[in-house]
Copies of this chain bind each other. A is one copy, B any other.
Amino acid sequence: MIKKRGKQTVKLESKPKIITTTSIVGPKEAKGPLKDYFDIKLKDELNGEDSYEKTESYMIYTAIMESIKKANLQQEDIDYLVTGDLLNQLTASSFAVRAIDIPYLGIYGACSTMTESLSLASMLIDGGFANYAIAATSSHFVSAERQFRFPLEYGAQRAVTSQWTVTGAGSMLLGKEGNYPYVTHVTIGKVKDYGITDSNNMGAAMAPAAVDTIKQHFQDTGRTPNYYDLIATGDLGKVGMDITNELLKEYGYDVKKNYTDCGYEIFYRDEEGVNAGGSGCGCSAVVDCGYIYKNMLSGKLKKVLLVSTGALLSTTSSLQGESIPGIAHAVAVEY
């Protein structure tokens, strides 16, 4: 009795429920077009911590704890925490989790982490291993800039294709029962590398992975783009979104009407420095947990396909002249 449909998709007959979500964002995100959908807003990028890394850790900790509280549960009720982030060795997650008494599965999918963690948490529940599981991730503009590019103090100029890493964390608490938005299908992606070497053009690097996963999801399920009210990639930004639209058309799927990208939506388009849009694990995390989840609860969105997208580079791989592998995982949610 295998749950597989087609080549890469599994159907979750038990429909794991997303019982609560929490989104927490920095001040820039809190002033953006989606500001009304976020739960917690930091007053500044540091929020009273000693370092930006600690602020990021605080955000993911708070997102997780709030989700548990809102669900009227205790830490001991949760069977697994599935989290990860962009920092080397996932320190935002692991330092947050050391203060939480829940078994921990650390994952890394770069900015695809929200749907990777949601996929695994859903499968752990559908497979009978958990009553409750939490999927969460975070990113922070300053900790990401100084790790991947330049410390902000250098005042480096930003490329037109560059994206602005979202300061934010999102957490989804999943369970077996209740009347909540539920996960129906999971499509785990393959690594795709089309030879992009420009780490200021991540949208182009990740788009082929998004296209491959979305196309495969349609083929596996027999669905077409119209099935969904919204298909939301993670952080392709303007550049990657256009590529995704074009490439999916070549496969015979016209998604333009109901497709958007979390990185394209989270900031005002003309805001200084944003350029191609938002990025980072936190980008799809807060848009999925905030805007999309709340619009599902209110009935505005009934069927969505969440497709967080990750660029699997490191500073070492870039310095060694390597191209940027991309990955994307798709999760179908209905209500």
List chain A positions with a Cβ less than 8 A from chain B.
1-4, 7-8, 10, 50-51, 53-54, 76, 79-80, 84, 86-91, 94-95, 97-98, 100-110, 116, 119-120, 123-124, 126-131, 147, 188-193, 312-317, 320, 322, 325, 327
Asked whether A10 lies within 8 Å of B192 as measured between CB atoms, the reply is no
The one of B76, B108, B128, B325 in contact with A98, judged by C-beta atoms closer than 8 angstroms, is: B325
What would be 28 A-B contacts, judged by CB atoms less than 8 Å apart?
Answer: A4-B79, A4-B129, A7-B76, A53-B320, A86-B89, A88-B315, A89-B110, A89-B313, A89-B314, A90-B108, A91-B317, A91-B322, A94-B312, A94-B327, A95-B325, A97-B191, A98-B312, A105-B109, A105-B116, A105-B188, A106-B108, A106-B109, A106-B116, A120-B120, A123-B127, A127-B127, A127-B129, A147-B316
* Bound: A317/B90 CA distance, A: 10
Asked whether A91 lies within 8 Å of B4 as measured between CB atoms, the reply is no
Further pairs besides A80-B188, A123-B124, A126-B127: 20, Cβ < 8 Å: A3-B128, A4-B79, A87-B316, A88-B315, A91-B317, A94-B312, A95-B317, A97-B191, A98-B191, A98-B192, A103-B189, A103-B190, A105-B119, A105-B120, A106-B108, A106-B109, A106-B312, A123-B129, A127-B129, A147-B316
* Bound: A86/B316 CA distance, A: 13
* Bound: A193/B191 CA distance, A: 34
Asked whether A325 lies within 8 Å of B94 as measured between CB atoms, the reply is yes
For A12, the closest partner residue in chain B by CB is: B129
Asked whether A312 lies within 8 Å of B89 as measured between CB atoms, the reply is yes
Point out the residues of chain B lying under 8 angstroms from A131, CB to CB: 2, 4
Point out the residues of chain B lying under 8 angstroms from A322, CB to CB: 91, 95
Point out the residues of chain B lying under 8 angstroms from A76, CB to CB: 7
Point out the residues of chain B lying under 8 angstroms from A320, CB to CB: 50-51, 53-54
* Bound: A320/B192 CA distance, A: 35
* Bound: A52/B86 CA distance, A: 23
Asked whether B314 lies within 8 Å of A88 as measured between CB atoms, the reply is yes
Asked whether B1 lies within 8 Å of A128 as measured between CB atoms, the reply is yes
For A129, the closest partner residue in chain B by CB is: B10
* Bound: A147/B123 CA distance, A: 34
Point out the residues of chain B lying under 8 angstroms from A108, CB to CB: 84, 89-90, 106-108
Asked whether A327 lies within 8 Å of B129 as measured between CB atoms, the reply is no
Point out the residues of chain B lying under 8 angstroms from A107, CB to CB: 105-108
* Bound: A54/B317 CA distance, A: 9
For A106, the closest partner residue in chain B by CB is: B108
For A128, the closest partner residue in chain B by CB is: B3
Asked whether B2 lies within 8 Å of A128 as measured between CB atoms, the reply is yes
What's the least CB distance linking A257 to chain B, in Å?
Answer: 28
Asked whether B189 lies within 8 Å of A314 as measured between CB atoms, the reply is no
* Bound: A191/B314 CA distance, A: 25
What's the least CB distance linking A311 to chain B, in Å?
Answer: 9
What's the least CB distance linking A285 to chain B, in Å?
Answer: 17
